[in-house]
Structure 1
Amino acid sequence: MRINILQHTPNEGPGAILDWADKHQHEVYIYHPYQFGKLPKAEETDLLVILGGPMSPNDDLPWIRQERALVKEIIEADKPVYGACYGAQMISKVLGYKIGKAPAKEVGWGPVDLQTNTIPGLPKQLNVLHWHEEMFEIPQDAEVLYSNEVLRNQGFVMNGRIVGLQCHLEPEKTNIREMVVNDGDYIEGSVLGQNAQDILDAEISPDNKAAIFKIFDYITK
């Protein structure tokens, strides 16, 4: 399987997703469209991963317009798609739904609660990394996957092939350090009330990696 990953900022990489790919001996290609303007072709994509970033799917930039077209083509081809944060918003936007301000800015660690058992074996609650102040609408044909008290729309699952999460399951310890040292100013104003050191000191639950493995197993089955 060829996994094409769209990375949208240097400090938000694929993290544990690479471990899942290695486990199954899949080929991974990482694109940086914000920098190089390059995107894969739909026909050379078996699984599309859309990572987070500081931009919005609403932004009128040439590469974002091109990315929307690619995501639409891959969804229409019934190929598996996973979106994290901006990536989940991009999926919702392509499907015709609105992206706008969330009720509050969430940056730091906090729980999300499972809302459906469609994906077997997911934990009832996960302590995940949040790094956002926008949100997606849940597509009409999708189920809410995770929610919390701040934001109902923390994740969705759709058609057995698509999962979007507003939060982040993929970061590992080095990824967290990279996010904090490069984008730590963004923490200010978060409803979660954590500082940079709080975020760095938090233990990453092994449940997060296990959950992302189950999600990828599900959409690629």
Structure 2
Amino acid sequence: MKRALVLRHVDHEGIAGYREPVEAAEYDIQRVAAHHAGCAKLDTMSPDLLVVMGGPMGVYDTDRFPWLIDEIAVIRRRLIADRPTLGICLGSQLIAAAMGVDVRKGPVREIGFAPLDITEAGAQGPLRQLAGVDVLHWHGDTFDVPEGTDLLATTPLYAQAFARGRNVLALQFHAEMGEDDRFEHWLANDTADIAAAGNTAEELRADHDAKGPRAVAAGRAMIAEWLAGLS
């Protein structure tokens, strides 16, 4: 069986809705807390798939979280080898940093369900599954689109997804979150950011109940299509 290594940065940001298509594609999933395991000592090259999850820290917070330096380095080695790699939120930002571009605070916190603007390149690949679907956004950082990649989706203020060839996919948004009870942990742990974004926990919970199932179904279809196209 193929192996997928999932790097987590906080317990309440796991693979969530993407687990189903990854397992359906016959990957055995191993989960590792990147900040505890010591990324430099991890075998991140032999897994058939590396999934880098989100977290509340920023790529630039290396003074507070020095292990980020090692994590970027191991991601860079995997990218050089063109090994299948998927990044979500912080994971997408770490991929961008590993490709040598600037990752920084964005103009506003983007929290809540909203549609993506799918680019022409995105409409020709797995991101087409998300056309017209409100997906969950929960971020405040942004990045330059790395050279040699295709921009797949945007919102008015943020690049939302890019890909390099078939094997590297970076997603700023959270189409994996729609049916997972851990959403309540997000609401409980990010009250200040929710308020700063002009939202309330009650509004987000209602949107999660109404829009989450469709978003996660579309996200699963997107990941299944991407996995089927890996080289």
What TM-score comes out, normalization by structure 1 length? 0.90
Residues 119-167 of structure 1: per-residue CA shift (max 9 Å, x gap): 154232331111111101111111111111232x111121111111111
2:87 is aligned with what amino acid?
A: G
* 209-218 or 122-131: bigger deviation: 209-218
Matches of 1:118 and 1:58 in 2, distance apart?
33
Equivalent residue in structure 1 for 2:175, among 147, 169, 176: 169
Following TM superposition, by how much is the alpha carbon of 1:179 offset from its aligned partner in structure 2, in angstroms? Answer: 1.3
Partner of 1:158: 164
Q: Is 1:188 aligned to 2:195, yes or no?
A: yes
**Match runs of 1:96-115 below 5 Å:** 96-115=100-119
Q: How many residues align?
A: 218
1:178 is aligned with what amino acid?
A: H
Conserved? CA contact 2:101–2:144, under 8 Å = yes
Q: Is 1:132 aligned to 2:139, yes or no?
A: yes
SS in 2 for 1:43: coil
Following TM superposition, by how much is the alpha carbon of 1:207 offset from its aligned partner in structure 2, in angstroms? Answer: 4.3
RMSD value, Cα: 1.9
Following TM superposition, by how much is the alpha carbon of 1:55 offset from its aligned partner in structure 2, in angstroms? Answer: 0.9
Matches of 1:101 and 1:53 in 2, distance apart?
14
Conserved? CA contact 2:111–2:137, under 8 Å = yes
Partner of 1:17: 18
Matches of 1:205 and 1:122 in 2, distance apart?
14
Matches of 1:134 and 1:51 in 2, distance apart?
15
SS in 1 for 2:115: strand
Partner of 2:31: 30
1:72 is aligned with what amino acid?
A: R
**Match runs of 1:73-92 below 5 Å:** 73-92=77-96
SS in 2 for 1:44: coil
Q: Is 1:46 aligned to 2:48, yes or no?
A: yes
Residues 81-115 of structure 1: per-residue CA shift (max 9 Å, x gap): 11111110000101000001212211122221211
Equivalent residue in structure 2 for 1:64, among 47, 57, 68: 68
Equivalent residue in structure 2 for 1:206, among 197, 209, 214: 214
Partner of 2:186: 179
Percent of aligned positions that are identical:
26
What TM-score comes out, normalization by structure 2 length? 0.86
Q: Is 1:118 aligned to 2:119, yes or no?
A: no
Conserved? CA contact 1:126–1:208, under 8 Å = no
Runs (5+) with no aligned partner, structure 1: none
Conserved? CA contact 2:87–2:95, under 8 Å = yes
